[in-house]
């Protein structure tokens, strides 16, 4: 049986400044590196081993994956372009605080985050679901069983989760916050409601 572990990158420079990053290619902050190390140590303490680690091509995920691999003494992470974050379109680089002003009424407000749904140039969540379907199909062709770690991003990570468990993307956006260096387990023997393995105390939007 294939077990898919899903990690979000640590805090990056845009997170620290309250900016919407999307595909902006910023590095981890010192806090972000500490978060990645904390996640790696938690994984090690639970004696979880990965047959392979895949990472999005952006710096923040590659740096997070590298830290995890080093702590676990795993093989070098492999870049998988399909794990790339959502294209934020005109919202990339804008402050979180401008989402309502720039994107209303096409927004979805949750306890922690206000999501923009369809600003100019941005991928929509239904488009992300289709991309997640293709990515998961590819992964299952490559790996029939074992433990695989995917180091990815907030919006796309939640859509991978929604796709795997065949859940509504709107419901998933409201259900939980996928914080920096959090870890999820996607498995046929793991209920969707129990997929959160580790949460890091500090989080960014």
Tokens at residue 35, please?
């978060």
The pTM of the full predicted model, rounded to 2 decimals, is: 0.94
Tokens at residue 103, please?
């994107």
**Amino acid 36: pLDDT:** 96
The β-bridge partners of 186 are: 4
- Taking alpha carbons only, the member of 162, 152, 153, 92 closest to residue 125 is 162
Q: What mean pLDDT comes out for the span 147-170?
A: 97
Query: Apex CA 65: angle with CA 203 and CA 128, to 5°?
Result: 70
Q: Cα separation of 168 and 90, whole Å?
A: 25
Question: Domains in the chain, please, with CATH?
Answer: 2-89+121-198 (3.40.50.1240)
Known binding-site residues equal 8-15, 60
**Amino acid 61: pLDDT:** 98
The predicted-structure confidence for 105-139, as pLDDT tens digits, reads as follows 999 999 889 999 999 999 999 999 999 999 999 99
Known binding-site residues for substrate equal 8-15, 60
Q: Cα separation of 196 and 58, whole Å?
A: 24
Q: What mean pLDDT comes out for the span 128-155?
A: 96
* Residue 62: pLDDT band with limits 50, 70, 90: very high
More confident position, 198 or 13? 13
Catalytic residue IDs? 9, 85
**Amino acid 111: pLDDT:** 84
* Residue 12: pLDDT band with limits 50, 70, 90: very high
**Amino acid 204: pLDDT:** 58
* Residue 200: pLDDT band with limits 50, 70, 90: low
Q: Cα separation of 8 and 89, whole Å?
A: 21
Q: Cα separation of 94 and 191, whole Å?
A: 36
* Residue 190: pLDDT band with limits 50, 70, 90: confident
The β-bridge partners of 122 are: 88
- Taking alpha carbons only, the member of 22, 7, 64 closest to residue 155 is 22
């Amino acid at each position: 049986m294939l077990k898919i572990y899903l990690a979000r990158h640590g805090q990056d420079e845009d997170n620290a400044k309250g900016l919407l990053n999307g595909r902006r290619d910023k590095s981890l902050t010192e806090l972000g590196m500490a978060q990645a190390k904390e996640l790696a140590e938690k994984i090690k303490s639970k004696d979880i081993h990965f047959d392979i680690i895949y990472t999005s091509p952006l710096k923040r995920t590659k740096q997070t994956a590298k830290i995890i691999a080093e702590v676990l003494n795993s093989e070098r992470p492999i870049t998988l372009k399909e794990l790339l974050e959502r294209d934020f379109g005109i919202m990339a680089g804008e402050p979180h605080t401008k989402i309502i002003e720039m994107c209303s009424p096409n927004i979805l407000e949750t306890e922690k985050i206000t999501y923009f749904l369809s600003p100019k140039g941005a991928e929509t969540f239904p488009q992300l679901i289709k991309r997640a379907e293709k990515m998961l199909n590819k992964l299952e062709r490559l790996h029939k069983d074992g433990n695989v770690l995917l180091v990815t991003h907030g919006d796309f990570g939640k859509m991978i989760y929604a796709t795997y468990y065949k859940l509504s993307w709107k419901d998933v956006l409201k259900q939980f916050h996928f914080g920096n260096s959090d870890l999820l387990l996607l498995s046929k023997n793991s209920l969707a409601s129990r997929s959160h393995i580790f949460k890091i105390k500090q989080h960014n939007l």
